[in-house]
Structure 1
Amino acid sequence: MEHGSHSDQSKSTFSLADEDHTFANSMRFTLNQDPRVTFCGYSIPHPSDNRVNIRVQTTGDPAREVLKDACQDLMLICQHVRSTFDKAISDFKKSETVEIDDSE
């Protein structure tokens, strides 16, 4: 759900259900890396409400598009972290096997 002036699409507050600080802080960080973003912040309306409000203000581009781009960027970052982690686990297991083989 999006709140804000329909005449100025460069400023919007997005209310996202079933999210918490983990997602919101990651989105805030990702959005603030975008040079089109002049302000980004988030709030949790109430601890018992599983919802976050993310405020985005841009240099002129539609806030909705900038938020979509940030979601895509965050997804790519998560995929990179996951593949790096999986490779490190695989490399560690291989090195353990080599060490065990050497001791025989």
Structure 2
Amino acid sequence: MATGEAEKRPVLEVVQAEGDDNSCVTFVLHEEDHTLGNALRYMVMKNPEVEFCGYSITHPSESKINFRIQTRGGLPAVDPFRHGLNELTEVCQHILHTFEASMKAYRERQEVPMD
């Protein structure tokens, strides 16, 4: 049964306790590690409505993290998670643009003949 296609697994799973409490949710991010976990935790914790945010790596041989968010005041945990991902994307884009501009300026300086 080797079709040559890799089995597609979801990148994100949402694990929620039974009931209607949307303010306390664990997100399982597959194929991720401390690089995303720590940066995303920092971004999410900047939100004053977030009471708790943390992540754990289930096992060193597994490439996934459990990312838990607990909010105050009935705010759904999905909202700060989404906002944190968007903020982190913006920061990464800023870093990329700054790096590319610096590399362009460096290359232009290298092409100018020195007297």
Residue identity matched to 2:82: K
Which residue of 71, 74, 84 corresponds with 2:98? Answer: 84
> Tell me, what secondary structure is at the counterpart of 1:93?
helix
Say what the alpha-carbon RMSD is for the aligned residues. Answer: 1.3
Which residue of 29, 38, 42 corresponds with 2:51? Answer: 38
Q: Aligned ranges for residues 4-23 of structure 1 at < 5 Å?
A: 4-5=16-17, 6-23=19-36
Distance in 2, matches of 1:7 and 1:30, equals 26
TM-score, normalisation: structure 2: 0.81
Task: Determine which structure has the larger helix proportion and give its number.
Answer: 1
Distance in 2, matches of 1:40 and 1:62, equals 13
More displaced 10-residue stretch of structure 1: 57-66 or 44-53? 57-66
Alignment partner of 1:102 is 2:108:
no
TM-score, normalisation: structure 1: 0.88
Aligned positions, number = 101
Percentage of matched positions with identical amino acids:
36
Residue identity matched to 2:109: S
- What is the CA-CA distance between 1:16 and the residue it aligns to? 1.0
> Tell me, what secondary structure is at the counterpart of 2:108?
helix
Alignment partner of 1:27 is 2:76:
no
State the partner residue of 1:2: 14
Gaps of 5+ in 2: 1-12
